[in-house]
Structure 1
Amino acid sequence: MAGPNGYISPSLYRAGPYVPTWNFVVVHLRGRPEPLGPEETYRVLGRTVEHFEGARPHPWRMDTVEGYARSIAPHTAGFRLRPTRVVGDHKLSQDKPAEIVQRVIDGLGSTDSPGDTRLAREMRRVHTPGAVVSRGMPGALLLREVRLARADRWRTC
């Protein structure tokens, strides 16, 4: 599961020498996948479409092409994963001096990209004095998503 993530240009550092990098928050889940049957897989596909289309001004609905959707759905391998191990990690410029981290946060926060805005918010949270976050622990946002997934029996959407 991926949380906020994005490309970090060395131009944001205004120092150097540095090279481009990728900042991220992630949780790795391990467990044995349980295959879903065709109907349950189709329902998961439908909920996934509703989830991603729901915020759009004119959401597309899978039932508008139900015959076609059902004809290609068997080529999708639906599964449920009950995690036996959950490991979180993040890389959010922890190795950089505070002034450079602030430049990265400001640069990400000044774009029109919602992904950059989320990444800037998570970096600000992690780099706030007194924040208790260490390598190997997921960010609060992603950990909340994992808890929601667990409460929903680890289903998609």
Structure 2
Amino acid sequence: MHIPSFFQVKDMKEVKAFIQSHSFATVVTTTDGKPIATHIPVSFLQIEDSYVISGHMAIGNPQWKTLEENEQVLVIFQGPHAYISSSWYEKEAVPTWNYQAVHVYGKAKLLEKSELVKELTTMLETYESHREQPVLWHTLSDELLEKQMKGIVGFKIIIDEVQAAFKLSQNRHERDYAHIIEQLETEGEVEMAKAMKKGVKDV
């Protein structure tokens, strides 16, 4: 991913927080020279000094068979994005697009059954624990779990490269930056406006 220096993010705490907030990812591999992709929720974990992506695919999805065959698997995370009109700037310029995206690369390995159970337990806790009647691993019947487990394949990816781009108009001066946020909110692009408010400018 091409990342101008203005927009590059190197702080792994910031990257981790972004991935955890935008965990519906695109997993990309190749087979016979052709890129293939699957859109799935994944988990992002730090294990000692390593970062790991884990998830699962339907056994009927042929992409899982390519995971261990590929030297590198690409996982893409995307946040809010929005068109930025140059009419919002004080001086003449061309329009652009703001966005947040993270690419991670690593070697994939399929999970053993016990590892898959742990991955699924963690995912259920992440998305269900705050609910009044949470659906958690221990609340589901053994019969249902065994049946569903037969239909999925778990995997983990040991990350060896991270590319993060948060293009949030950091190259504009303070007045333009504040005006862009104001116009985004007017046009209903509240998520991008919120991302910019969390950004590097003091607005």
TM (norm. structure 2) is: 0.45
Asked whether 1:122 is paired with 2:194, we answer no
Indicate the RMSD between aligned Cα atoms, in angstroms: 3.8
Alignment of 1:11-30 (within 5 A): 14=88, 18=95, 21-26=97-102, 28-30=103-105
The residue that corresponds to 1:79 in the other structure is 155
Given the alignment, which residue of 34, 37, 45 partners 2:120? 45
Alignment of 1:141-156 (within 5 A): none
Per the TM alignment, residue 107 of structure 1 is displaced from its structure 2 partner at its CA by 6.2
Higher strand share: 2
Asked whether 1:101 is paired with 2:177, we answer yes
Query: Greater relative contact order (Cα 8 A, min sep 6): structure 1 or 2?
Result: 1
Change (3 A) 1:75 1:102: farther
Question: Which ranges in structure 1 are unaligned for 5 or more consecutive residues?
Answer: 130-157
CA deviations on 1:64-88 (whole Å, 9 max, x unpaired) are 3333233122333322222222232
Write the distance in 2 (CA, Å) between the matches of 1:95 and 1:50: 40
CA deviations on 1:95-118 (whole Å, 9 max, x unpaired) are 44432321344567898x7x5575
Higher helix share: 1
TM (norm. structure 1) is: 0.55
Given the alignment, which residue of 88, 101, 104 partners 2:164? 88
